[in-house]
Amino acid sequence: MSTINIIYGTEILTMTYELLCKSGIGERLRGGMKVVIKPNLVVAKSADEGATTHPEIVEGIILFLKDFGIVSPIIAEGSWLGEGTERAFDRCGYNALAKKYGIKLINTKKDKVIKKNAHGLSLGICATFFDADFLINVPVLKGHCQTKITCCLKNLKGCIPDSEKRHYHDIGLHKPIAALNTILKPDLHLIDGVCGDPTFEEGGNPVQSNQIILGNDPVLLDSYCAMLLGYRPDEIGYIRCAIDYGVGNPVNASTIINKINSENKPKNNTLNQSQLVRKLAQLIDERNACSACYAALIFALNKSGIGKLGGEITEKIKIGQAFRGKQSTGLGVGDCTKRCEENVSGCPPTASKILEKLKGL
């Protein structure tokens, strides 16, 4: 039987604790277990910007685990390319949390890497996650410039080293994300749906939704969340792949959705803002670009106003690893496109650097 549990409200810590109590998950916990919590700290921005996991959710988990004699869970994460995880731990409130409860933070960018094979791919994964007796995935429900949404399945990309993140984009993103989820199988997913940004992975346009969602099946949860953001689950490539690989099952007529405190649901939250990204994407020739690089370009295009005015770009902007070593006309973004006529350097370049170039065009 497939079940999704959702709680609504604004008291994030107590909501998390209550949701965990009602989920029955305590039956699977025992004292002394090694528990690893994987939040989303993709960038060093506070959770109210819509990109990162609220520390209050992780604090609710820590308090719940304590009730079962688990006093030293580990928080493990690796921010995206170009962002320092330690900076993110600090800005996102996780250093303070670790200090308060005397728990360990692990920057997976510095972790040992273990190679595993799945679905014809050789994937490097950070060792910390193999040591866990119980793995808790705590993604943010938000939009993504390339994959449309990011939630449970894609959050595991923080469990791989930076070199592997580049590799995933080089081989098409959806298949390796799904394959990764056949190797790492979190025991529990708690989705931060408090105020995710439905447009950008790096936040900046948070939409208040005041919900936390709990479940065991990442495909079920992601397919439900895709619909919350205005997509059909089959529009998301890695959800389709994950179904094919047997990771889980999508939402269907028999799915049970338990809603707690529905009266706290915000009345006017418009989660579907993906139109803007679709429009800006028409200005880009993207071939295997890394998320941080692509998001920086989308962000800069949005700021520049070029997308709104239309017709100002005569040739699409090139970005991605498939352009490496290739001579080309027009503007390229990132070191991979340095043989373009014009180029914004960096791996990845910052949005402000791209914006500067766009303004000069």
* Contact between 353 and 360 (Cβ < 8 Å): no
* Total chain residues near ligand SF4 (CB under 6 A): 13
Least Å from the CB of residue 87 to ligand SF4: 18
- CB count, 10 Å around CB of 320? 22
* Contact between 195 and 47 (Cβ < 8 Å): yes
Taking the least distance from each CB to ligand SF4, the nearer of 283 and 347 is: 347
Least Å from the CB of residue 211 to ligand SF4: 33
Taking the least distance from each CB to ligand SF4, the nearer of 178 and 293 is: 293
- Near ligand SF4 in 21-80, by CB under 6 A: none
Closest CA to 76 of 128, 153, 16, 151: 128
Q: Which amino acid is at 212?
A: I
Q: Which amino acid is at 342?
A: E
| Cα 165 to Cα 170, 288, 292, distances in angstroms | 9, 11, 10
- Contact region for ligand SF4 (CB under 6 A) — 42-50, 253-261, 284-292, 309-317? 284-292
* Contact between 348 and 334 (Cβ < 8 Å): yes
Select from 91, 119, 166, 339 the one that contacts ligand SF4 (CB under 6 A).
Answer: 166
- Near ligand SF4 in 90-129, by CB under 6 A: none
Q: What are phi and psi of 317, to 5 degrees?
A: -80, 130
Q: What are phi and psi of 207, to 5 degrees?
A: -120, 120
- Contact region for ligand SF4 (CB under 6 A) — 48-56, 62-70, 243-251, 289-297? 289-297
Taking the least distance from each CB to ligand SF4, the nearer of 193 and 334 is: 334
Q: Residue with CB nearest ligand SF4?
A: 334
- Contact region for ligand SF4 (CB under 6 A) — 60-68, 240-248, 250-258, 288-296? 288-296
Taking the least distance from each CB to ligand SF4, the nearer of 336 and 351 is: 336
Least Å from the CB of residue 204 to ligand SF4: 19
Select from 7, 43, 229, 289 the one that contacts ligand SF4 (CB under 6 A).
Answer: 289
Least Å from the CB of residue 201 to ligand SF4: 14
Select from 29, 145, 293, 358 the one that contacts ligand SF4 (CB under 6 A).
Answer: 293
Closest CA to 57 of 41, 42, 70, 34: 41
If one asks whether residue 176 binds ligand SF4 (CB under 6 A), the answer comes out as no
316: buried, middle or exposed (CB in 10 Å: 19+, 13-18, 0-12)? middle
Query: Residues 315-354: x/- map of binding to ligand SF4 (CB under 6 A)?
Result: -----xx------------xxx----------xx------
Q: Tokens 């959770």 appear where?
A: 47
Least Å from the CB of residue 125 to ligand SF4: 20
69: buried, middle or exposed (CB in 10 Å: 19+, 13-18, 0-12)? exposed
Helix (H) or strand (E) holding 298: helix 291-304
Taking the least distance from each CB to ligand SF4, the nearer of 145 and 221 is: 145
Least Å from the CB of residue 27 to ligand SF4: 44
> CA torsion, points 262, 59, 177, 274, in degrees to nearest 10?
50
The residues that touch ligand SF4, with contacts defined as CB under 6 A, are 81, 166, 289-290, 292-293, 320-321, 334-336, 347-348
